[in-house]
Structure 1
Amino acid sequence: MKAIVAGEVIAEADKADLISIEGNWYFPPQSVREGVLTDSPTPYTCPWKGVCQYYTVTVGGQELPDRAWAYPEPYPTAIERVGKDFSGYVAFWKEVEVVD
């Protein structure tokens, strides 16, 4: 699967390596292109997943704030609920299209 912004692939991995949570595909951290994500200061804590890290996605000089996120240290109960350790896996939204 691929995450694409403005025709550029910013993440790519086999579907078997992704994790689906609440309708979002989470990519392994090593599958995200280097230099595309920068930490965002936007705070959020999911009641069941834990503290979220948002990212600004930068492609072709265009900055898209909070278009990606991850849970660096999800709650142990969240990992149990999902059935896989998704620590650091990255999900995308809005202008970032995820395709098979």
Structure 2
Amino acid sequence: MVKVTLGSQTLAESGATIVVEGNHYFPPSSINKDLFTDSATHTTCGWKGEASYYNVKAEDGGIVTDAAWYYPKTITDRAKPVEGYIAFYKNKVQITE
């Protein structure tokens, strides 16, 4: 089971993550959607496609910007397994395996 926390809040928890390039990608059903808001940030990966980002609400009312990302529509068959799955920046949240 892999768990992502921010302070005492659980952002995601799953035994069914997919690891790509050292990052755990979580199934969409495993995140606490109440703590996420859409970000305007987008980046592009040459083999996964365009990534969208989420901001995360902190316990103190603050916002951690661009703490997580996902690929709404992947562009290669190799990336298809993580389509719609959410990954987190290790320097913005705590990830325990």
TM-score (norm 1): 0.86
Q: Does 1:11 align with 2:12?
A: yes
Equivalent residue letter for 2:51: C
Shift of 1:34: 2.1
Partner of 2:65: 65
Equivalent residue letter for 2:94: E
Q: C-alpha offsets along residues 54-81 of structure 1, whole Å, 9 cap, x if unaligned?
A: 11011221200011000011113333xx
Shift of 1:4: 0.6
Q: Does 1:96 align with 2:96?
A: no
Partner of 1:25: 24
Equivalent residue letter for 1:73: K
Percent of matched pairs sharing the same residue: 38
Equivalent residue letter for 1:19: I
Separation in 2, partners of 1:86, 1:43: 17
Higher share in strand: 2
Q: Does 1:85 align with 2:67?
A: no
Aligned residues, how many?
94
Question: What is the DSSP-based 3-state SS (H/G/I as helix, E as strand, rest coil) of the residue aligned with 1:52?
Answer: strand
Separation in 1, partners of 2:78, 2:94: 26
Listed as ranges, the matches of 1:32-43 within 5 Å are 32-43=31-42
| 4+ aligned runs moved over 2 Å, structure 1 | 76-79
Question: What is the DSSP-based 3-state SS (H/G/I as helix, E as strand, rest coil) of the residue aligned with 2:87?
Answer: strand
Equivalent residue letter for 1:95: K
Instruction: Give me the CA root mean square deviation.
Output: 1.3
Shift of 1:26: 0.6
Shift of 1:37: 1.3
